[in-house]
Chain A
Amino acid sequence: MEYGGAKQKTVKGSDVVIEHVRKSFGDFKALDDVSIGIKKGEFFSLLGPSGCGKTTLLRILAGFESPESGAVLLDGRDVLSLPPDGRHVNTVFQNYALFPHLSVFENVAFSMRLKKAPESEIRAKVADYLQLVELQAHAKKKPSQLSGGQKQRVAIARALINEPSVLLLDEPLSALDAKLRQHMLIELDSIHDKIGITFIYVTHDQQEALSVSDRIAVMNAGEVLQIGTPQEIYEAPATDFVAKFIGETNLYEADVVSVSGETVELSVEGFGIIKVTATEPPPVGSRVSWTIRPEKIRIGLEEPRSSRNGINAVSGVVDEPIYSGFQSKFYVRTPSGQVLKVIKQHADWSDEGPEIAWKDSVWLSFSAEDAYLVEVKR
């Protein structure tokens, strides 16, 4: 069987290189000089809000749109001149795009029938791929008799049976409900592990992208803002937009007061002096933005005392506590009126700290290692 057997990740598929791709629709710039390098076997996500160009880029890869300029290389070979049926790339569409007049079996067999494969080979291979997506029992059904999750799995099997070197997934889970989405995401990830080809996954859902991707490209307004691993994207966002788009965050502007190594001291209105990390520290006097994730902040009733270097402490009053089951979120207002978001995981039995309530005076503390300088404004 093509995908079975090996326990460890197999790496197959193609390298995909996108070079200086531009595309506009009338006056609207859908893609503005986009360059991305995707490695063989990677689970790569294109993440951004709707209209950011991610789907256009995917459609260019599939061959449904052609860019005004730039190149798309599959294993070093330019594929832009090839029609969709001439590329070793298959797509899983957002709304499944199953053929309504064909059974599940025939949907999956579609590409093999076009190639005029022998009937016995078709039967065996379709059975394999239906097993991969756990739909053996539904082979005879029509798409209209399937649930959303089942349709999506047919679409995946139908695309994979062609043995593409790159699988393009266009928001494949957006039509499913939240619980099913989580389940399908895990399944997608395990299918990727089994098959090992390059997956390019388009989504506007940062949670989806963070949980399955090897690397992510964050896009907005036709541009790639940052390419990196989920950790890099989440913890060290390259721009204000990335910081705000991925997860919840605290984002403030400040002036650089001093620089020592990768640690930068900032003067923040309402906070005083805050130390943050910067990989490429800007000169003293620069206006910058910086970020700290809410769950990286410790909240307590007493002033934190730590011998460790680079611990920032801010005092404030709890403006609004929001209970959400496994965690609580606090909006804490500093004396000068700045608001910080803090997330506290609910404690297990060993945590003996007092409960924090509305109007409590609290101390917030966070490490300079968790706070990042984002953008240099001037």
Chain B
Amino acid sequence: MRKRSSFSKAVFIGTIVFLSLPLLVLVLYSFNESKSGSWTGFSLRWYVKLFTDSPQLWRAFGNSVIVALSSALVATMIGTLGAVAVNWYKFRLRKYLRTITFLPMILPEIIIGVSLLVFFSGIGLKLSLFTVFVAHVSFNLPFVFLLVLARLEEFDFSIIEAARDLGASETQTLLKVILPISMPGIISGFLTAVTLSLEDFVITFFVTGPGATTLPLYVYSAIRFGVSPVINALSVVMILGTVALTWSTRNFLKYIAAK
């Protein structure tokens, strides 16, 4: 085996420390007794406060979950059907559709946020959780589309023809062939959409209305009055949640692939 140079080892360690040190500090301070920046002793009081005495935070969390799940679901449905159409059906403007769908992914978020705001006020739609939902669907769509498309591109159109040839109607072909083979792409698309939606700040900031605060917006507004250790505690809970979700998804995908 080749000996690794000490330089690359140093870069590796440096990167890992750089990436995880902030997280480590955050975890540590969530257990800090006092509110100040210095360590005064171990305590779970911020966790207690988080779970028993933070109604606004939980309302924002609830909003985030509702928006994330619903927008991811809708984006997954539209994105999957769009990917199937663009990949396998010939129609005019097909090439352009692909590019247009990718656009929200490439454009700076602030432009999407402003344009959505202008659009909503233009058509007279009152800003609310619904407008947040619509905005999230629109920026989630290209990710689902891309992931499903990447999956579909592995397969030849002839398997669709084979299904039709063997007596399947178009609907049966969709249900029994297209959806099963694109399932890994659909699942990762959905999960990506949930994640993006949960963490989005910029676009949501523009299109949210009264009473429709999401978690990132709440955290931002809370931090303006100084970092509350409750936020630290919340972050730790979220890190644990994310790790658990990633782990179970990975196993789930492995299970699907092996089936």
A interface, CB within 8 angstroms of B: 62-64, 83-85, 89-91, 93-95, 97-101, 110-111, 114-115, 158-159, 162
Contacts and interface: CB of A to CB of B under 8 A. Distances in A.
Contacts of B165: 62-63, 84-85, 89-91, 159
Interface in B168-214: 168-169, 172, 176-177, 180-181, 183
Interface in B153-175: 155-156, 158-159, 161-169, 172
- Chain B CB within 10 A, most for which of A64, A101, A110, A111: A101
Given A99-B177, A100-B181, A114-B172, A162 B166 contact: yes
Interface of B is mostly: helix
B161 A162 contact: no
A99 B161 contact: no
Nearest to B155: A100
A25 B158 CA distance: 19
B156 A84 contact: no
A166 to B, nearest CB: 12
B177 A97 contact: no
A1 to B, nearest CB: 21
Contacts of B169: 85
Contacts of B183: 101
Interface of B: 155-156, 158-159, 161-169, 172, 176-177, 180-181, 183
Nearest to A164: B165
Contacts of B177: 99, 101
A84 B162 CA distance: 9
A83 B181 contact: no
Interface of A is mostly: loop
Contacts of B166: 85, 90, 110-111, 114, 158-159, 162
B167 A99 contact: no
B158 A93 contact: yes
Contact of B163 (A89, A95, A99, A162): A99
A189 B163 CA distance: 25
Given A101-B177, A114-B166, 8 more contacts: A83-B164, A85-B168, A90-B165, A93-B158, A99-B181, A158-B162, A159-B165, A162-B167
Query: What 6 pairs across the A-B complex have the smallest Cβ distances?
Result: A97-B158, A97-B162, A111-B166, A84-B164, A101-B180, A93-B158
B167 A64 contact: no
Given A85-B167, A114-B166, A93 B172 contact: no
A183 B166 CA distance: 26
A114 B162 contact: no
Nearest to A155: B162
